[in-house]
Amino acid sequence: MTEWIYFTNITSSITGWRLNCAGIKSLVEETKANSSPLHIADVCFSHVLYLASISHSSRLHFSCECVRIRASEVLTGFPSCDKNRLRLSSTSTVFLLRHGLKMCNTSTKQCSCTNLFASAWLSKKQAALILGMAIVSVVILAASYFYVIQIRAETERKHEETFVESPRPHIVFILADDMGWNDVSFHGSNQIPTPNLDALAFNGIVLNKHYVQPVCTPSRAALMTGKYPIHTGMQGRPMYGSEKRGLPLEEKILPQYLKDLGYATHIIGKWHMGYYKIDYTPLKRGFDSHTGYWNGAISYYDHILQEVEDETMNGHDFRVNYTSAWHYQGKYATDIFTEEAEHIIKHHNASKPLFLYMPHLACHAGNEGKWLEAPQEAINRFSFIPDPNRRTYAAMVHKLDESVGRVVSALAERRMLHNSIIVFVSDNGSPIEGIFKNYGSNEPLRGEKSTLWEGGIRTPAFVWSPHLQNSSRVSTQLMHLTDWIPTLYSAAGGDLEDLPKELDGYDMWTSLSQDLTSERGELVVNIDEIKEYGAIIFADNSTSDSQTLYKLIIGKPHTSNYFKLLDLQQSPKYSPETLLNSEAHTAIKKLGKTSNNSQELDAKTIMKLRQEATVTCSPMEEVTNCSGLCVYDLTKDPCEQNDLSQRSELQSLITTFKNRYDSLFKTVKPQIPIIMDSRANPAYHNFTWSIWEMS
């Protein structure tokens, strides 16, 4: 017997989604394999007469154009059926043909546009009989719906009564893209208020000396592997969509380590570590689900990546697991990621530890003609900013901050917040010039994305958790992206002896929690053996007063004249009340005594912490480039204005630094060759960026 596919529980309320008939088949197959991420459950019926409203004297005509119609609306798929409209349950969503139904055989998984009534004319009696059956079916469906709701409510009530807490903390890691040091208000900027980020930062620990890689793919590789990119061959340029390259498969990565501890693992957002073969994709590397994109950037509304290298390529890059999610087109990417995070948290079994990795699109630029995008109502909040591009960028940051607040609230609603660790980091500094310029600000730090200067590698970062013993402070402990694997593994109760000895990261959990001296004595910014430049930061503890950070730069990095690029003066005064009334702070405050904050946040405390987290430097119209070898005292000169390489009293120390650099250079793994492959062209894959090489 031919069965019918009936789709339900699609949470999005977007109407007018069109899907070709071939797409139905792939959706059915994907649904059966991965129902949870799509929020779709399929139920088969021997007939679905209750779905149709039949005219008394009209022949049914079929086409292969499918339309998604919200069940809360009157079914208007049959233009001639105005007299016999039907309403469905408000929670149901069905796929209909423009003038009929889609017939799918679930045993063969074949779909075809078939005339249910074999082109027969319907008599009034037949039509009335069918309509009667339809009405009865709707009544049954409605009754079933209310019964299910009642059962669900009872189940949720029992669940609340038998709530079992996870033995390990839930971990939410939020990675911003191309956000500058000066684009968050917890670093002293007034122009773009970030109350939710500020609330987490000032209730937690501001990581004022947290370092990343100069560009995005290497930063993600460092975070995921716990190794410097020079030790995985990932230290070069960001990955293009048509490259036959990826994070080496022999590398175990963060979600796999956490899975060893029993974590459920989800990624929402950007991957950017390879996908030309399926084995490089997130679901093959430890993640249970992925909603987002595989490449480095997409437009915020149409989710298209345009790539211009050897040839121009354009394609859609947004998916749920392996299925292209065209139905999200037209919806703002940050909102999609936020809603998916809320859904995952809401439906997560809180007795099992959760790892939620959120590498956002914001604040990366999109495609030509759509470089910067944000909802107009968000842009309108920043009418005081004269530059329209900076105004849009501010709105993008605002939406990101709003997203963070909603995620914190979702954790609180599920009674998971008091047992959570939330980390926020930007993958690199803002690109203040060039093709992907996003009008961010790294001031007063020198440099930008893609450079070895502080503006490219020292970014906004914090960690928040009730499990921190000494919080509400600004940390100057030296820290790097590679530290997060051992740090989170330790915080989750894992045995550090189980981690590979060749990791470059350090366990910082105890140091951070108890405000102890950083375990780190040095930090490799990068060594590029092809461009022949690199940088290392060294911690000198020889003085009795405090730790001094020195930075050694070898080669010829980019020149950066960075002052007065943006007018940041026209800004409202910072308001601590905005933080205190934020969604994140409201949720944190309700934790009460479960939090280990060393001080209660009030306006005075907020302003004190904000001052401590602010970097100030003397203005300088121009800066000279570094050529050959330069040394900077980052403790006294965080903006790298004074080269100390010729100071006689430092020559012995500089020789030690140089010898260490030479030693590390010998450990560099050659960069993975960049091979562009025209087979990746989305034109060959239904205009989507897709896997193009079978293993």
Give the residue numbers annotated as catalytic, written as ranges: 216, 272
Q: Residues near 211 by Cβ (< 8 Å), separated by ≥ 6?
A: 457, 458, 478, 479, 480, 481, 523, 525, 537
**Whole-number Å distance between alpha carbons of 283 and 21:** 27
| Nearest of 540, 552, 609, 603 to residue 576 by alpha carbon | 603
Question: What would the two tokens of residue 254 be?
Answer: 């963060």
Decide: 451 and 470 in contact? Cβ < 8 Å: no
Q: Is 374 exposed, middle or buried (0-12, 13-18, 19+ CB in 10 A)?
A: buried
**Whole-number Å distance between alpha carbons of 460 and 557:** 22
Decide: 194 and 179 in contact? Cβ < 8 Å: no
Residue 649: count of CB within 10 angstroms of its CB:
7
**Whole-number Å distance between alpha carbons of 610 and 185:** 8
**Whole-number Å distance between alpha carbons of 639 and 616:** 8
Q: Is 504 exposed, middle or buried (0-12, 13-18, 19+ CB in 10 A)?
A: buried
Q: Residues near 232 by Cβ (< 8 Å), separated by ≥ 6?
A: 221, 225, 247, 248, 251, 669
Could you report how far apart the first and last alpha carbons of the chain are, in Å? 38
SS3 642: coil
**Whole-number Å distance between alpha carbons of 627 and 662:** 17
* C-alpha of 430 from chain center: 17
Question: What would the two tokens of residue 539 be?
Answer: 């911690």
| Nearest of 260, 257, 258, 253 to residue 282 by alpha carbon | 253
**Whole-number Å distance between alpha carbons of 610 and 613:** 5
**Whole-number Å distance between alpha carbons of 533 and 524:** 12
Phi, psi angles (nearest 5°) of residue 323 = -95, 125
> Which residue stretches of 414-497 are H helix?
454-457, 484-491
Residue type at 411 in one-letter notation: L
